[in-house]
Amino acid sequence: MKESRQRILARAVQEVKDGMCVNLGIGMPTLIANMIPTDVHVMLQSENGLLGIGRYPTEEEIDPDLINAGKETVTATTGASYFDSAESFAMIRGGHIDLAILGGMEVSETGDLANWMIPGKMVKGMGGAMDLVQGAKKTVVIMDHTNKHGESKVKAACTLPLTGKAVVDLLITDLAVFEFVDGQMTLIGLQEGVLLDQVKQATEAKFRVGLDV
């Protein structure tokens, strides 16, 4: 795993608190399941119908019928429960998910999120992200700060189809950490070895700099 990705995940796992019910989005967020400290007891929920996801399985533990929403094989913790998608989305829409950690394609300076499709590319479906950003008590987005062409993914306004408007509470990138409160974007932390000027140059969005930075 790239060092930049390790930094993102290490900062994101700090948002997982004891006693929470947490949904980890498809892709990079699912890796957090293996990073949660053993003394932090949480219930990981998957919108395809599993409450109590464990760590990734070893070769001997793989069960092809036991998967997360990203169709990756997983394990189940003691006391885990299984249910249909209707029950799963009732949990999400009913406000019972304390924290959703999702990947992102673009985030705007007002906390808009685009993460479900790129026009012209095949999409199997929008998944549960639109429900999660509305139903979860806190939404954390993790992503690279720029795309492979060096263009900022932290935008003045999203150019891709939106998942939700003003739904991001915390954005963690390989360069920095931003908080969104009442439509205001504030830089609250720099990743190790990153300078403020680097963040400013790589960020299209306008943001305030927190007092502790």
Rg (CA), the chain: 17
Please report which confidence band the pLDDT of residue 2 belongs to, taking 50, 70 and 90 as the band edges. confident
What is the value of pTM for the model shown? 0.95
- Ordered by start, the domain boundaries in the chain are 3-209
Q: For 3-35, how does the pLDDT look when each residue is reduced to its tens digit (9 = 90+)?
A: 999 999 999 999 999 999 999 999 899 999 999
Structure confidence at residue 208 as a pLDDT band (50, 70, 90): very high
Give exposure, 54-66, as e/b (b: 16+ Cβ within 10 Å).
bebeeeeeeeeeb
For 111-133, what is the mean pLDDT?
87
Q: Which CATH number does 3-209 carry?
A: 3.40.1080.10
Our answer to whether residue 60 is catalytic in this structure is no
Q: What is the mean pLDDT of the chain?
A: 95
**Is residue 120 pLDDT above 90, yes or no?**
no
Active-site residue (options: 47, 106, 109, 179): 47
Strands 184-190 and 176-181: what pairing?
antiparallel
**Would you call 93 helix, strand, or coil by DSSP?**
helix
- Torsional sign, CA 125, 131, 132, 133: positive
